[in-house]
Amino acid sequence: MATHASNKELNLKGLELFQTYARTHSLQDTAEESGLSISTVSHHLRNLENHLGVDLFDHSRRPMILTPTGRNFLRNIAQAMQAIRKATAEASAGNVADASYLRIGTIEDLDSDVTPELAVYLSQKMPDCNFLYHTGASHEIIKMLRHRELDLGIVTTPAKSTNDLIEWPLLRDPFVAVLPVSAESSLPDIVAGKAKLPFLQFSSDLIIAAQIEAQLRRLGVQLPNKFKCGNNQTLMAMVAAGAGWTITTPLLFSRARRFQPKLRMHPFPGKSFGRTLSLITSPDCAQSVIDLVSYKVRSELSRQAIAETHRTTPWLKDQFALID
Q: Cα separation of 27 and 42, whole Å?
A: 7
- Phi and psi dihedrals of 154, rounded to 5? -110, 115
pLDDT at 9: 63
Asked if pLDDT for residue 254 goes beyond 70, the answer is yes
Question: Model confidence over 93-146: pLDDT tens digits?
Answer: 455 556 678 889 999 889 888 999 999 999 998 888 888 899 998 989 998 888
Supply the angle between the helices 27-34 and 38-52 in degrees, to the nearest 10: 100
* Strands across the sheet containing 321-322: 130-135, 101-106, 152-156, 274-281, 166-174, 321-322
Residue 5 is predicted with a pLDDT of 52
- Residue range 256-276, pLDDT digits in tens: 999 999 999 999 887 788 999
Q: Helix or strand or coil: residue 136?
A: coil
pLDDT score at 143: 87
Per-residue pLDDT, averaged over 183-206, amounts to: 83
pLDDT greater than 80 at residue 161: no
Inter-residue contact 264 to 186 (CB < 8 Å): no
The pLDDT of residue 87 is 61
Kindly write down the DSSP assignment for every residue of 145-179, as one continuous string.
HHTTS-SEEEEEPPSS--TTSEEEEEEEEE-EEEE
pLDDT at residue 91 above 70?
no
Residue 316 pLDDT > 90: yes
Is residue 177 within 8 A of residue 251, CB to CB? The reply is no
Tell me which of 190 and 322 has the higher pLDDT.
322
Residue 88 has pLDDT above 80, yes or no: no
Averaged pLDDT for residues 41-69:
91
**Span 272-291, average pLDDT:** 88
What was the pLDDT predicted at 165?
87
* Better pLDDT: 134 or 283: 134
On the question of pLDDT at 51 being above 70, the answer is yes
User: Mean pLDDT of all residues in the chain?
Assistant: 86
Res. 89: pLDDT tops 70: no
Q: How far apart are CA 71 and CA 73, in angstroms?
A: 5
Identity of the highest mean pLDDT range in 72-86, 221-235, 307-321: 307-321
| Nearest one of 57, 80, 52 to 70, comparing CA atoms | 57
| pLDDT on residue 293 | 94
Q: Which residues contact 43 (CB under 8 A, 6 or more apart)?
A: none
Q: What is the pLDDT of residue 237?
A: 94
81 pLDDT above the threshold of 70: yes
Q: How far apart are CA 263 and CA 242, in angstroms?
A: 9
> For residues 5 and 9, which has the higher predicted lDDT (pLDDT)?
9
pLDDT for the residue numbered 285? 82
Choose among 295, 263, 314, 52: nearest CA to 168.
Answer: 295
Contact 119, 130 (CB under 8 A): no
Q: Terminal CA-to-CA distance of the chain, rounded, Å?
A: 55
**Among 56-60, 165-169, 230-234, 240-244, which stretch is predicted with the lowest mean pLDDT?**
230-234
pLDDT band at 292 (very low <50, low <70, confident <90, very high): very high
